[in-house]
């Protein structure tokens, strides 16, 4: 039940302080699974004011009002996708680590700062906007949707990509 999860979260994410204190867990409004979300404070004067995820590496962050954190699991949908810069080294059927320079990143591709992105987890739809208007939209769950997003970046960043981008 919810109480056990709270203890697991406390033990996994918030180890005892040097003084032997324990986490102060407080409930917030329920997240998606109906179990109260937990917040923890450990150090006086330290708090978690906001949490963001980056559904697509190198694109806009999304503020999260509520998140279900589980021991040993990543932040849901954080960097779940990336856009490969040109000929691919990443094989989705045999995923292995690929250096981040193989992907579009803000550090190397300043044009990414001129677009905003919104990701809808329920449909895995990514919307790309520029100057307040939508310029591309596609479901990252489908080959056609990924192709739409890749095609936008191929054209938009044609002077800085090494070849056709791939989501």
The reported pLDDT for the residue numbered 78 is 94
pLDDT higher than threshold 80 for residue 118? yes
Asked whether residue 60 carries a pLDDT value surpassing 60, the answer given is yes
- Residue 36 CA, chain-centre distance (Å), reads 22
| Structure confidence at residue 31 (pLDDT) | 60
The phi, psi pair for 52, rounded to 5°, reads -125, 150
pLDDT of residue 35: 47
Dist. CA 70–CA 4, nearest whole Å: 12
Radius of gyration for the alpha carbons in the chain, expressed in angstroms and rounded:
19
- Express each pLDDT in 87-114 by its tens digit: 777 887 888 888 888 999 998 999 999 9
How confident is residue 40, by pLDDT bands cut at 50, 70 and 90? low
Mean pLDDT across the stretch 32-45? 54
Locate the DSSP E strands across the chain. Answer: 24-30, 36-41, 52-53, 62-63, 116-120, 125-130, 133-139
Angle at 74 between CA 71 and CA 76, to 5 degrees: 115
Percent of the chain with pLDDT over 70: 73
pLDDT-based confidence at residue 9 (cuts at 50, 70, 90): very low
Q: Is the pLDDT of residue 63 over 80?
A: yes
Range name among 9-13, 94-98, 111-115, 158-162 with the lowest pLDDT average: 9-13
Q: Of the ranges 7-11, 24-28, 106-110, 129-133, which one carries the lowest mean pLDDT score?
A: 7-11
**Given this model, what pLDDT does residue 8 score?**
35
**pLDDT value of residue 146:** 96
d(C-alpha 64, C-alpha 81), whole Å: 18
What is each CA distance from 6 to 40, 42, 95, in whole angstroms? 10, 15, 32
- Rounded CA-CA distance 59/82 in Å is 9
């Amino acid at each position: 039940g919810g109480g056990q999860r709270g203890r697991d979260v406390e033990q996994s994410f918030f180890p005892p302080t040097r003084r032997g204190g324990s986490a102060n867990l407080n409930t917030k409004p329920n997240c998606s699974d109906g179990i109260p979300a937990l917040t923890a404070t450990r150090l006086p004067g330290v708090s978690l004011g906001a949490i963001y995820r980056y559904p697509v590496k190198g694109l806009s962050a999304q503020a999260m009002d509520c998140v279900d954190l589980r021991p040993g699991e990543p932040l849901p949908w954080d960097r779940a996708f990336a856009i490969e810069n040109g000929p691919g080294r990443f094989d989705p059927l045999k995923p292995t680590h690929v250096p981040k320079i193989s992907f579009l990143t803000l550090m190397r591709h300043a044009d990414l700062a001129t677009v905003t992105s919104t990701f809808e987890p329920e449909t895995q739809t990514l919307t790309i906007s520029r100057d307040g208007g939508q310029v591309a939209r596609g479901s990252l769950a489908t080959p056609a949707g990924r192709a739409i997003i890749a095609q936008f970046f191929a054209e938009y960043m044609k002077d800085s990509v090494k070849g056709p981008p791939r989501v």
